[in-house]
């Protein structure tokens, strides 16, 4: 989904995930419970500046809204700063 449909307007070409991003997405959405639901409901991403966190989280949130992950259309993202 991400590498096919997520095209930032500033770049004009699809997102190419970094290896750590691809592995995170595989773990989040690849592991399912016996009833078919996703194994994880929450994820915390912590990495240094300029490593693609914002783009990755934006793409995951889009998938949450458009990918029929849950019966509810509610997705959330939160962040914090030292201030």
Give pLDDT, residue 72: 67
Spatial separation of the C-alpha atoms in residues 72 and 79, rounded to whole Å: 22
Give pLDDT, residue 19: 94
Residue pLDDT, tens place only, 33-64: 999 888 888 888 888 888 888 889 888 888 88
Q: Residue with structure tokens 């307007």?
A: 9
Give pLDDT, residue 68: 62
Q: pTM for the full model?
A: 0.76
């Amino acid at each position: 989904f991400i590498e096919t449909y997520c095209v930032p307007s500033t770049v004009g070409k699809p997102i190419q995930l970094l290896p750590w991003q691809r592995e995170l997405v595989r773990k989040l959405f690849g592991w399912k419970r016996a009833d078919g639901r996703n194994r994880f409901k929450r994820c915390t991403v912590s990495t240094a500046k300029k490593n693609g966190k914002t783009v990755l989280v934006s793409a995951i949130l889009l998938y949450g809204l458009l990918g029929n992950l849950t019966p509810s259309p509610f997705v959330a993202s939160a962040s914090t700063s030292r201030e």
